[in-house]
Amino acid sequence: MNQLEALKQFTTVVADTGDFHQLAQFQPQDATTNPSLILKAVQKPEYAPLMRATVAQFKDRAQDEIMDRILVRFGCEILNTIPGRVSTEVDARLSFDTDATITRAERLIELYQASGIHTERVLIKIAATWEGIEAARILEQRGIHTNLTLLFSFCQAVACGQAKVQLISPFVGRIYDWYKKQAGAQWDEAAMSGANDPGVSSVRAIYNYYKHFDIATEVMGASFRNTGQILALAGCDLLTIAPELLAQLSQQTSAPTALSRALDPANAKVQSLERIHLNEAAFRFALNEDAMATEKLAEGIRAFTVDTLKLEALMQQAAA
């Protein structure tokens, strides 16, 4: 048994890619996309025709609609390959606009439905700002399931649980990056690996809180830098993993040491934890107090915006 197979005993494995040709070999249950992954995919020769065809078909429509149609087209192709759900992201430029996020999310769902895809197979990805979480709360009430992304702090997770969102994607690698950069020459890679990795610790605390208080929101660890971070979260509800790391896991045998479950609902239940409630003011203050989460959330929104603009530029070239 390889490590990927061993991991699947405890955790639902999700592929983090827009490259749907890669999916079959790893047999993930679900898949996630984001603007950066779609941008990466459409620059490959095998996917350029898909984008050109979509742009040509809808060239008289607004740019934001063409963008959504490209995202849904990729999502539909992915859903032809996997048995589960695909996550499709709302434009990062709407991260602080609740109403606009809801409108775009509803259009994405309508486009999926028009393609014959059931709503249950789609998660709308939204940045875990206060406005994004509020949009997700309303969307969930309307039967549209959400995946709250760019999640770096415990307060973001608490607010998402309160909003009864379907799933959260707490980031591991970007938290690790921040603390490693802050420590500089003082960083001890061996001491800060595995269960001691700050990104791993963040996801573990969120998982334990959710399971202790029977919060139904699914926890999907994301943004990994190495397989050690992934294996240290075995037992998490889901883990979304880039194809390069899926390949590494599939090439590594779990022997001689069998992979053990690192996160367990039973262990979460016996912990002494306090239930937290956050209103908007408390959420904003808690996030502000967390320098890492504040910086990484802003940086993530900016990076996704840059890649969305690049994708729009490619769409315009295709239309010319």
Please, which residues bridge with residue 125 across strands? Answer: 89, 147
Best CA proximity match to 228, nearest among 205, 211, 208, 252? 252
Exposure b/e, 226-251, CB count within 10 A at least 16 = b: ebebbbbbbbbbbbbbbbebbebbee
Is 125 designated active site?
A: yes
Query: Do 166 and 145 contact (CB within 8 A), yes or no?
Result: yes
Query: Do 54 and 73 contact (CB within 8 A), yes or no?
Result: yes
Distance CA 220, CA 68 (A): 24
Best CA proximity match to 111, nearest among 52, 55, 57, 66? 66
Please, which residues bridge with residue 127 across strands? Answer: 149
Query: Do 15 and 283 contact (CB within 8 A), yes or no?
Result: no
Cα end-to-end span (Å), the chain: 51
Catalytic residue among 8, 44, 125, 269: 125
Q: What is the DSSP string of 59-89?
A: TTS-HHHHHHHHHHHHHHHHHTT-SS-EEEE
Tokens of 150: 């760019």
Please report, as a single letter, which amino acid is at residue 226: N
Active site members? 125
